[in-house]
Amino acid sequence: MRRPSFLRFMAVLAFVMASLLLTSATTRSWPEIFTRPKVLIFCKTNGYHHASIAAGTVAIKKLGEENGFDVDVTEDSTQFRYKNLKKYSALIFLSPTGKVFGPEEEKALQKYIHHGGGFLGIHAATDCEYNWQWYGDLVGGYFKSHPKQQQANIIVVDKDNPATKGLPETWSRWDEWYNFKYLNPNIHVLLKIDEKSYTGGENGDNHPMAWYHEYEGGRSFYIELGHTDESYSDPAYLGLLLGGIQYAMGRK
């Protein structure tokens, strides 16, 4: 005798749930309704350890809270197994240094990229894995040297990219400026440094500071800037960083 009431209750419940889903779908894609994307910060150092890793981690977590993605953090290279990596929309290499991977970790990272994964390298991400050319091509270059920290002018080469739209055409800032001993010729340069604006530059008129490229089925973005703690509270830098994360995640 109570079955009709139960059926009416289930019908009302189904209507309410459908309404909530449709409301959510107006602001988020269907996958985001059921799962929130996640990124992994990797910050293992077997060389110089940047104190700014701590500030960078806090800043990226805050960007995640504000822009709809979760953030995990590890210094443990054994986390690099494809079964684990495939959970992440992007891997963020936050100033790792030295030799950080063994053969199994290398295979896992390659498989992740080959299956469409995203990579973002920050600052010293070019100062590691020198004996693994595949990684050098992925990140886009290898560190050679740097002069003392100083003010310099950054020139926006590509103003149309979402990562650079909030930047002035010439951006004057204080940081540690890398010279590169190798650069992948296939990178698309977003920012370059004006070597006339500081001392110690060695890459000439086309000295890139941020770039991106598609690589073997995946996506790679690199930002040289980010040595200092102050970078991670600078709105202009955070806009660039967010753009790099979103590109690596595959967001347009």
Query: How large is the angle between the packed helices 235-249 and 52-67, nearest 10 degrees?
Result: 70
Contact (CB, 8 A) for 114 and 218: yes
Q: Which is higher by pLDDT, 70 or 4? A: 70
The residue with tokens 């590109």 is 247
Asked whether residue 9 is assigned to any structural domain, the reply reads no
Asked whether residue 68 is assigned to any structural domain, the reply reads yes
- Range of the structural domain that residue 63 is part of: 35-249
* CATH number assigned to the domain comprising residue 165: 3.40.50.880
| CB-CB neighbours of 107 under 10 Å | 14
Q: What percent of the chain has pLDDT over 70?
A: 86
pLDDT (0 to 100) of residue 15: 55
Asked whether residue 13 is assigned to any structural domain, the reply reads no
Regarding beta strands 150-156 and 170-175, do their DSSP bridges make them parallel or antiparallel, or are they unpaired?
antiparallel
Q: What is the distance between the terminal CA atoms of the chain, rounded to a whole angstrom? A: 55
Asked whether residue 10 is assigned to any structural domain, the reply reads no
Residue 29 has pLDDT above 60, yes or no: no
Asked whether residue 129 is assigned to any structural domain, the reply reads yes
Distance, CA of 94 to CA of 75 (rounded, Å) = 10
| CB-CB neighbours of 104 under 10 Å | 13
Beta bridge partners of 58: none
pLDDT (0 to 100) of residue 5: 59
Q: Which two tokens stand for residue 216?
A: 């073997």
Q: What percent of the chain has pLDDT over 90?
A: 85
| CB-CB neighbours of 62 under 10 Å | 13
Distance, CA of 13 to CA of 62 (rounded, Å) = 36
Calculate the average pLDDT of the chain.
92
Residue 87 buriedness (CB in 10 A; 0-12 / 13-18 / 19+): exposed
Q: What is the dihedral of CA 69, 220, 183, 137, to 10 degrees?
A: 130
pLDDT (0 to 100) of residue 219: 98
Total domains, the chain: 1
DSSP structure class, residue 97:
B
Helix/strand/coil for 52? helix
Asked whether residue 84 is assigned to any structural domain, the reply reads yes
| CB-CB neighbours of 230 under 10 Å | 13
Distance, CA of 63 to CA of 90 (rounded, Å) = 14
Phi-psi region of 102 (alpha: psi -120 to 50; beta: other; left: phi over 0): beta
pLDDT (0 to 100) of residue 251: 85
Distance, CA of 196 to CA of 154 (rounded, Å) = 11
11 pLDDT tier (thresholds 50, 70, 90)? low
pLDDT in tens, 116-162: 999 999 999 999 999 999 999 999 999 999 999 999 999 999 999 99
Asked whether residue 1 is assigned to any structural domain, the reply reads no
H-state helical runs in 92-224: 103-114, 133-139
pLDDT in tens, 43-53: 999 999 999 99
Asked whether residue 23 is assigned to any structural domain, the reply reads no
pLDDT in tens, 60-72: 999 999 999 999 9
149: Cα separation from own chain's centroid: 23
